[in-house]
Amino acid sequence: IERADWHAIVAGRARAEATGFQEDSELLQSAAAALEELREAHELEEAERIVTEMNAKLEELRRQENELVGPVHKKQRNAIGKKILSCRNCEDFVSSQRFLKNPEEERARRIACARELKKRAEEERKRLLQRQREALAELHAVLEASDEDAVRALLVEDILEAADVEAAEAFLSGQELRRKEAEKDAALCEFSFAGMDRRTLFQASVAINGLLTEKYGLQEGSDFKFKVVAASNSVFVAFCSTAAAEEVRATAAEAARNTAVVAQAEVRGPGAFSHVPDATLQGLRRDAEGLRARALAAGAAGQDTLLNNQAATVSSLGSRSSVGPEDAAERGGPRPLTAAKSTG
């Protein structure tokens, strides 16, 4: 302040505010008073500096433009021309020119502009605050609805506070984890019988076996395996393929209409299974993977057999086409015609 250094005072005031000095403190009031005394001289000095530097820059650009003669430099001249126009219309340059012509008028215009900018900034702050409140309410609603797309949209908008961002990202991570778990269980199906006694549950498992065999043409041991889970009153079925499990889940209720005990079941898929011990679920997953591996191996063996049969057929046809003249005669076939020898 004693040196009357505008830039040093501005920097010192910023540091004081950052360290906790109040606006009405003696130090900051002294800084404000010093800046007010220096303002007119600083503004004049700053305007002269900006105008001098910009005029020098414009002069250099015009010199470069004038040196570029001929059509070969047309694009480069156009680019320099655009840069010249941009410099001439620069807000700081135009304002500084106006200030040098009429300092009082330009100062009043700057004050009015500053007030307008402050007003707009305050309006934007209030708008963002209101939007944050709305976004928080939206986040609670979309989390409740498990709407991943809406959660991602709120994150892209970048309007949520840090704690809410963490909650949104945790939700998305959980959804991804559930998807991966569901992929593991895609070949499983649950027939849930709420409140059923164990004896009837065993009868239901027999009925399900019959349903899968008769209605779907599947064979136990090769196409599916089932497990009675008394703890959840359920019969779980592991299939050899995801497609088979999906088909059963989609059509079992209709297929079991005439099977009274099975018709009582609620058919469930991945993500909706009853709570069962993790070891039970892991065992069912291993069953599904084992069935799938055997089905793939059987398919590969069948393909090999088909290829071997095709090769044998081709070989047989090839051997038939290589029959010699003598063989043809022995089989009663006509001998091929041969050229007569000359006796002359």
Query: Quick check: 54 pLDDT over 90?
Result: yes
**Which pLDDT value is given to residue 306?**
56
Written as six digits, the tokens of 225 are 């395996």
**What's the rounded Cα separation, in Å, for the pair 212 and 220?**
8
Query: Quick check: 86 pLDDT over 90?
Result: yes
Average pLDDT value for residue range 133-160: 93
User: Cα angle vertex 286, ends 199, 170, to 5°?
Assistant: 100
Query: Quick check: 335 pLDDT over 50?
Result: no
**Which pLDDT value is given to residue 288?**
92
Average pLDDT value for residue range 57-84: 93
Q: Model pTM?
A: 0.48
How far is C-alpha 155 from the geometric centre of its chain's CA atoms? 12
Average pLDDT value for residue range 240-250: 91
**What's the rounded Cα separation, in Å, for the pair 195 and 176?**
33
**What's the rounded Cα separation, in Å, for the pair 49 and 44?**
9
Q: Which amino acid, residue 76? A: Q
Q: Quick one: pLDDT band at residue 308, thresholds 50, 70, 90?
A: low
Average pLDDT value for residue range 162-179: 91
What does the DSSP 8-state code read for residue 72?
A: G
Query: Quick check: 282 pLDDT over 70?
Result: yes
- 3-class DSSP state for residue 229? strand
**What's the rounded Cα separation, in Å, for the pair 55 and 316?**
96
The neighbouring-strand residues paired with 266 are 192
272 CB-near residues (< 8 Å, 6+ apart): 190
Query: Quick check: 327 pLDDT over 70?
Result: no
Query: Residue for token digits 């410099």?
Result: 87
In DSSP notation, 75-113 reads HHHHHHHHHHHHHHT-HHHHHHHHHHH-HHHHHHHHHHH
- 3-class DSSP state for residue 322? coil
What is the percentage of the chain residues whose pLDDT exceeds 70?
Answer: 87
Q: How far is CA 342 from CA 143, 297, 336, 339, in A?
A: 103, 67, 19, 9
What are the tens digits of pLDDT across the range 261-271? 888 899 999 88
Burial class (CB in 10 A: 0-12, 13-18, 19+), 217: exposed
48 CB-near residues (< 8 Å, 6+ apart): 96, 100
**What's the rounded Cα separation, in Å, for the pair 325 and 101?**
118
